Structure 1
Amino acid sequence: MYIKNQFVRHQLVLHLLEQEGYETITTSSNQDEILLWRKMNRMTNIVRISLKQFDWARELDHSIEQIEKNVSKNLQLPLFQKEVNFHHVCIADYVPVDNWQQHKASNIKAIDHTYVYIWASDQDEQFARFFKNAGMKHPLSFSIPEQPMELEQHAQYLKQRIDHIDYQAKKEVADVFNKAKPILSYVLIAINIVVFVLLEWMGGSTDPDTLIKFGAKYNPAMMEGEWWRVVSSMFLHIGVFHIGLNMMALYFVGTLVERIFGNYRFIIIYFLAGISGGIASFAFNANVAAGASGALFGLFGALLLFGLKNPKIFFKTIGMNVIFLVILNIIFGFSIQQVDNGAHLGGLIGGFLAAGAVQLPSMRKSWKQILFLFGYLVYSFGLLYYGIQNDQIQYNETVQIQHIQQLIEAEQYQKVAESASQSLPHAEEYQAELLFYRSFANIQLGNYKKAEKDLEAAVEKKPRFEEALYNLALIYQQEQKLSEALEISKKLLDLDQDNSTYQSLYKELTKTTS
């Protein structure tokens, strides 16, 4: 009887694989259990075909509960499924002695319906019920050989066909994930670590000036033509936690993408995603920024494209983990102010488009590649244009004050005046400081009237602004407005009566006006 049951099981499994589009999930070591599944029209049917004999309904119930629990725990079901049904097909010598058909509904949340069928003593109506519930499109018809030897030979032949189909399916998955050895991922990790050590040695990876010097994304410099920072910033990281997290992601995600897409496709995706992420950061984030996050999110984008091209393999292997990580990182980014969401989302979209431009090794189609490349170029240049026009970001008062201080150190006073003028219309908190810096630049350029006007406006906005008051007093003194200068010197002493510079100015002005 066991050989007969095997023959029937093999016929059913082969029919599901060849005619109905099912795939094997697992087989037990003794071949008594086979799990298959099929996703169609937002409905997933999972089929368990068992040769185990159940004497009592409670044994069957316990077996069903254990199998469904294990499957729901280990199987990555596709997202947005309308219905998930579990079909338990038992091919046995006889049915349980009690009422097995009163099986209770599944208590597993992921499973909507549980169906049980027991084929025993040629009860073909059980297969008919199974085919109807599972929505099969093709009927199953076979005859069972009467001679034991012939039956065994046919069963063995069917098993070989099943094993071959299963082998080909596994080989297809293995081939997808082994297009190349992940050499370039390791090279990128090594370069990033070397650059990080150099940063720490030359001033510290958390020091803004050191980051800017080594090529971090710095909007004021990029607006002056240093667009190479979009690439160089990909190799800089801010602190040990930052590089540790990114290199871990590059080790796991980078090597996976390189295995799927191949070496040169991987490096193209990595750099194009990093560039689009850097441009997005330039467009939406005024602060100094660095890191490989844009490129890494681009690798997630490449995996999403892979999922669209190979949904069965994607969801059977890495799909749910990839989608979960993308959603988690996006939520994390919007929850923490310091995270550069522009770079993350910009890299994600850029990586998706870049992956479409290079395509998977086995799916090269020139017209699709051209379309994706065109989309990438429109997307990136659109971001760049928006970023250049986004004055609120490019003339952010905090960043511009930092930039102005660097220009003063370089004695580029004309640029100081220009930067302050461009930033003032967008300033809210630091208008007085910007006016002061512009006045300082105009003093150095000999434009004393302009400096006087800016200093007057600065102290009007910030009456206790000592540096502005002092410089204004000096200008008044130079222009022989001695009474105004004396009045300001008195204010300075009220603010800081122990300041020797203020005391000297007050004494000098008192003597001059007396």
Structure 2
Amino acid sequence: MLEPLHRYWKLIHHLVIKENARILDISPDKKQIWMEMEKQGRKAAVRIAKIEYDWMNQLEKDVEQAKDSFRRVKKMILGRNLQFYNIYVSSYPPVDLRTPLGEHLQQENRIHLYFLSRDPSGEIADSAETILRDVGAETKWNPLMDGTDEEHENEARHYRKEVQHKQQALEKQDRSLLMFSRPRAIYPILAAIFLIFLWLEQNGESTNIVTLIEYGAKYNPAILDGEWWRLVTSMFLHIGFFHLIMNSLALFYIGGAVERMYGMFRFIIIYFTAGLFGSLASFAFNEQVSAGASGAIFGCFGALLYFGIIHRKLFFRTMGLNVLVILGINLAFGFAVPAVDNGAHIGGLAGGFLASSLVHLPGHGAKITQFPAIVLIPVLASGLYWAGQINEDKTDASMINVQLAQEYIQRDNIEEARRILHKMLDSVDNPSAYFVLGNTYLEENQYRQAAGNYEKAVSLNPELAQAHYNLSIAYLNLEKWEKAKQAIEEAKALNIEEQDDNVDVEQIESEIADRKG
């Protein structure tokens, strides 16, 4: 008997064609269909299943499985208090069903069960009119007419074809939104990142702070001196192989998805705007030397979020939940780990969102959100640059400058080390800086200058044992025996020998005694 098949496809046809329900999933045998309904702001998941169960235990098992599937489907539909309408179409109800299905199973709130079948008594099965009214349908149901099996089969086939044609048209429309073009720009960007990394490794090390700064990393003092191009070049540098691989994989998948949606030219604008915003935010709020494509990658997240605002249903049917989870994890990780430049991440995210709003999605025409973006992008970029120039509450850069000076000393570039330290000490007194500056003079046997810097170091930090020790050497060579003796005693009291295996306190004490005598 083909009447139930006819009824099954007629109900699906009515909801899809007349009520604009959207099919979310179809089982391989076409006997189960999930749909999304939205009427007057109320959203619902509708499942229609073609079954032939003789006993209630079979039906009860299917109901439980449907509830499990509903939990998965809910992630594809954005909305609160989502209703679930589970509709069974069959020739006859199970023989041991004596009351309407919903009453028999006592379903919880927001889950509604219906049984659409041939039921001469009219007491157990539900009518199509009741089902359509409950799901919020606005068009009238035309009851099935009696007919032969061949007529029912032909009608079912007709309804199925119309539903499939509409579904194919909607899927084609979705594909055109998600895959507007093939990725092209992403590959030369990745190639440039890899080639620059190899270049960095051959000319030093990608983890060496001096190498990073020399080849264009974000370094605030240099930017303040006019080297603004570092805001761009830092996007192509990476600190170590792990950093390179993680960012490259993220860029390949997330950036590739964004380029498919927005097209090559829009993607390039989004990518570089986001990268620039990430660098500016890092300049404004973080004094650490930084590099990497993270800001641009977070900008791609911003582009996906903008797509989600414009096409909310498609976004959550496809990638939405995964995007939000991954983004949330990355932001939380950035806040939890101090070494991560979360300012660059958030700046890139905002920049990517604004750039996406500016260029908009292809084929959508002008949108009012484009005009505020034209103003906001230059205003916010200028604001971040201005904040970077005046913000004195950024992460302390003193140790970075001291480390950088030490690196230059190891490379025998004493003058550059002194330039960095003198410039730093013009604005802030730092004991470590005075100590390293003293070392540069001690290396060249300029003991008076060395002693002066060590004295400033220990006056700022009396616990700096190494400064006391080196000060004793400077005093020894300046023939200031009492001061040399006092300095070495201070170093001993601070356990200098436990801190540094290379010191020889006894030798210094012996030389002081010999020369003084």
TM-score by length of 2: 0.83
Is 1:458 matched up with 2:457?
Answer: yes
Equivalent position of 1:344 in the other structure: 345
Matches within 5 A, 1:108-507: 112-121=110-119, 126-134=127-135, 136-148=136-148, 151-365=152-366, 367-393=368-394, 396-404=397-405, 409=413, 411=415, 416-424=421-429, 431-436=430-435, 456-463=455-462, 464=465, 465-466=467-468, 469=471, 473=475, 485-494=480-489, 495=491, 498=505
Q: Work out whether residues 271 and 295 of structure 1, in 8 Å CA contact, stay in contact via their aligned partners in 2.
A: yes
Equivalent position of 1:427 in the other structure: none
Q: How far apart are residue 458 of structure 1 and its match? A: 3.0
Instruction: Tell me, in whole angstroms, the C-alpha distance in 2 between the residues paired with 1:112 and 1:238.
Output: 52
Equivalent position of 1:428 in the other structure: none
Q: How far apart are residue 386 of structure 1 and its match? A: 1.5
Amino acid at match of 1:420: L
1:296-324, CA deviations, whole angstroms, 9 ceiling, x for partnerless residues?
11101100100111111111111111111
Q: How far apart are residue 439 of structure 1 and its match? A: 7.5
SS of the counterpart of 1:49? strand
| Range with bigger deviation, 465-474 or 209-218 | 465-474
Amino acid at match of 1:486: W
Q: Work out whether residues 232 and 276 of structure 2, in 8 Å CA contact, stay in contact via their aligned partners in 1.
A: yes
Equivalent position of 2:499 in the other structure: none
SS of the counterpart of 2:105? coil
1:128-176, CA deviations, whole angstroms, 9 ceiling, x for partnerless residues?
4323432x14043214344436555444332222111111111111111
Q: How far apart are residue 219 of structure 1 and its match? A: 1.6
Q: How far apart are residue 379 of structure 1 and its match? A: 2.3
Q: Work out whether residues 75 and 316 of structure 1, in 8 Å CA contact, stay in contact via their aligned partners in 2.
A: no
Instruction: Tell me, in whole angstroms, the C-alpha distance in 1 between the residues paired with 2:345 and 2:450.
Output: 43
Equivalent position of 2:65 in the other structure: 66
C-alpha change, 1:386 and 1:459, in structure 2 (3 Å) is same
Instruction: Tell me, in whole angstroms, the C-alpha distance in 1 between the residues paired with 2:213 and 2:30.
Output: 63
Paired residues, what number? 489
Q: How far apart are residue 232 of structure 1 and its match? A: 1.2
C-alpha change, 1:438 and 1:258, in structure 2 (3 Å) is same
Q: Work out whether residues 105 and 113 of structure 1, in 8 Å CA contact, stay in contact via their aligned partners in 2.
A: no
C-alpha change, 1:401 and 1:42, in structure 2 (3 Å) is farther
Q: Work out whether residues 88 and 115 of structure 2, in 8 Å CA contact, stay in contact via their aligned partners in 1.
A: yes
Equivalent position of 1:24 in the other structure: 23
Unaligned runs of 5+ in 2: 492-502
Instruction: Tell me, in whole angstroms, the C-alpha distance in 2 between the residues paired with 1:330 and 1:394.
Output: 18
SS of the counterpart of 1:141? coil
Amino acid at match of 2:484: S
Amino acid at match of 1:411: E
Q: How far apart are residue 211 of structure 1 and its match? A: 1.5
Instruction: Tell me, in whole angstroms, the C-alpha distance in 1 between the residues paired with 2:364 and 2:51.
Output: 43
Is 1:90 matched up with 2:88?
Answer: yes
Q: How far apart are residue 231 of structure 1 and its match? A: 1.4
Instruction: Tell me, in whole angstroms, the C-alpha distance in 1 between the residues paired with 2:233 and 2:173.
Output: 38
Q: How far apart are residue 456 of structure 1 and its match? A: 4.3
Instruction: Tell me, in whole angstroms, the C-alpha distance in 2 between the residues paired with 1:86 and 1:364.
Output: 36
C-alpha change, 1:346 and 1:40, in structure 2 (3 Å) is farther
Q: How far apart are residue 71 of structure 1 and its match? A: 4.6
Instruction: Tell me, in whole angstroms, the C-alpha distance in 2 between the residues paired with 1:442 and 1:410.
Output: 9
Q: Work out whether residues 404 and 420 of structure 1, in 8 Å CA contact, stay in contact via their aligned partners in 2.
A: no
Matches within 5 A, 1:20-59: 20-38=19-37, 44-59=43-58
Q: Work out whether residues 353 and 376 of structure 1, in 8 Å CA contact, stay in contact via their aligned partners in 2.
A: yes
Instruction: Tell me, in whole angstroms, the C-alpha distance in 1 between the residues paired with 2:226 and 2:506.
Output: 44
Amino acid at match of 1:206: T
Instruction: Tell me, in whole angstroms, the C-alpha distance in 1 between the residues paired with 2:301 and 2:164.
Output: 34
Q: Work out whether residues 497 and 503 of structure 1, in 8 Å CA contact, stay in contact via their aligned partners in 2.
A: no
Instruction: Tell me, in whole angstroms, the C-alpha distance in 2 between the residues paired with 1:76 and 1:70.
Output: 11
Amino acid at match of 1:434: A
Q: How far apart are residue 96 of structure 1 and its match? A: 1.6
Amino acid at match of 1:20: E
C-alpha change, 1:313 and 1:253, in structure 2 (3 Å) is same
Q: Work out whether residues 37 and 44 of structure 2, in 8 Å CA contact, stay in contact via their aligned partners in 1.
A: yes
SS of the counterpart of 1:393? coil
Q: How far apart are residue 383 of structure 1 and its match? A: 1.8
Q: Work out whether residues 207 and 240 of structure 2, in 8 Å CA contact, stay in contact via their aligned partners in 1.
A: yes
Instruction: Tell me, in whole angstroms, the C-alpha distance in 2 between the residues paired with 1:208 and 1:232.
Output: 15
| Range with bigger deviation, 372-381 or 219-228 | 372-381
Q: Work out whether residues 294 and 347 of structure 1, in 8 Å CA contact, stay in contact via their aligned partners in 2.
A: yes
Q: How far apart are residue 67 of structure 1 and its match? A: 3.0
Instruction: Tell me, in whole angstroms, the C-alpha distance in 1 between the residues paired with 2:39 and 2:453.
Output: 71
Q: How far apart are residue 268 of structure 1 and its match? A: 1.2
Q: How far apart are residue 243 of structure 1 and its match? A: 1.4
Instruction: Tell me, in whole angstroms, the C-alpha distance in 2 between the residues paired with 1:29 and 1:458.
Output: 77
SS of the counterpart of 1:392? coil
Amino acid at match of 1:98: D
Q: How far apart are residue 26 of structure 1 and its match? A: 2.0
Instruction: Tell me, in whole angstroms, the C-alpha distance in 2 between the residues paired with 1:303 and 1:69.
Output: 29
Q: How far apart are residue 326 of structure 1 and its match? A: 0.5
Q: Work out whether residues 275 and 299 of structure 2, in 8 Å CA contact, stay in contact via their aligned partners in 1.
A: yes
1:365-416, CA deviations, whole angstroms, 9 ceiling, x for partnerless residues?
1643232232222222222222221123276221232355578836265664
Instruction: Tell me, in whole angstroms, the C-alpha distance in 2 between the residues paired with 1:40 and 1:146.
Output: 32
Q: Work out whether residues 4 and 117 of structure 2, in 8 Å CA contact, stay in contact via their aligned partners in 1.
A: no
TM-score by length of 1: 0.84
Q: Work out whether residues 472 and 487 of structure 2, in 8 Å CA contact, stay in contact via their aligned partners in 1.
A: yes
